[in-house]
Structure formats: structure tokens, C-alpha cells
Amino acid sequence: MKNTILSLITIFVLTLVLNCSASKVNNQHYQREWMMVSFDQFTKQQLIENNAKINLTGEKTGNQIKGTATMGCNQIFFLAELRNNGKVKISGIGSTEMACQNMEVENAFMKTFGNMKNYLIEGHRLTLSDDNGNEMKFIAADWD
């Protein structure tokens, strides 16, 4: 009887551990697609025309998320680590290398994005900022 109970408890614990480790972690606060609404000197219309957005729904390993971005021409990829203290680390930034006519938004984004050190989420809005007060503002794509 003692062995039977011990065996059942062992099976129960193993089932819990295996099911939990295989589940995908998804933080709805930041793991979503974000449309850029404010950046540098660009108008909101320019950002809309360039389909400017970042996507943080990629694979998550530990605290790092494989992210992508579109700023008009090329597909941009990066790693983002959002910490509980409002700090963000953007690394591994790269992109495809197509040449397009209008690349001002993309070039400015590529130059600035890696410098973003802070993040703030307020409802459906995300703000990334550096230590010099430069900001990128986004709105959740799934927000009505």
C-alpha cells in the first residue's frame, strides 16, 4: 500500500513537471505586436506608411525574446530582454539587406534601437527610451 501511494505521487509530480516545462510562456503585457506611433522627427503618417512595428511574439528562451521589426523595407531581427525593473537590453540586431527608395525611418531605427535601455508599459502603450531622453512609442496592434 505504501509503495502504491508513493508510486502515484511520483507519477503525479512527474506529470506536473513535464507538462509545465513544455508549456510556452507568454506575457500578454509585452509579448505582442507593437505599432510605432512616435519616433524621432517622423510624423505618425510616415510611420503608418512604412508599416513601422516591432513584434515581440517570437520564441522566448529564459528572459530573452527573439523579436522582429519592420520599418518599411527590410526585415529586422533582434533579441530583447525585458526585466522586471523597467530595464530592457536589445542585442543581436541585424536585418536583410535590400535597397529601397525610402529608408529614412529604417536607418534611424537601426541607429537608435540598440540604445534603448528602459521600457514602460501603460495599458496598451509601450515606450522605449534611452538614458538621453530619446523615445520610441508604440501601441499594441491587438488593441481596438
Domain count, the chain: 1
- Give residues with Cβ within 8 angstroms of 131, minimum separation 6: 117, 118
CATH number for 132: 2.40.128.270
6 assigned to some structural domain: no
pLDDT tens digit sequence for 48-103: 999 999 999 999 998 899 999 999 999 999 999 999 899 999 999 999 999 899 89
- pLDDT of 30 reads 85
Contact (Cβ atoms closer than 8 angstroms) between residue 69 and residue 53: yes
Residue 118 falls inside a structural domain:
yes
For residue 126, with 0-12 CB atoms within 10 Å meaning exposed, 13-18 middle and 19 or more buried, which class applies? buried
Which residue range(s) make up the domain with 120?
Answer: 26-140
Q: Would you say residue 115 lies in a domain?
A: yes
> What would the pLDDT profile of 108-119 be if each residue is shown by its tens digit?
999 999 999 999
- 136 strand-pairing partners: 39, 128
Which among 121, 135, 133, 124 is positioned nearest to 38, based on CA atoms? 135
Q: Does residue 97 lie in a domain region?
A: yes
- Per-residue model confidence (pLDDT) at position 24: 36
Residues forming a β-bridge with 130: none
Which stretches of the chain are DSSP H helices? 2-22, 44-49, 104-112
**Pairing of β 135-140 and β 125-129:** antiparallel
Q: Which amino acid is at 35?
A: M
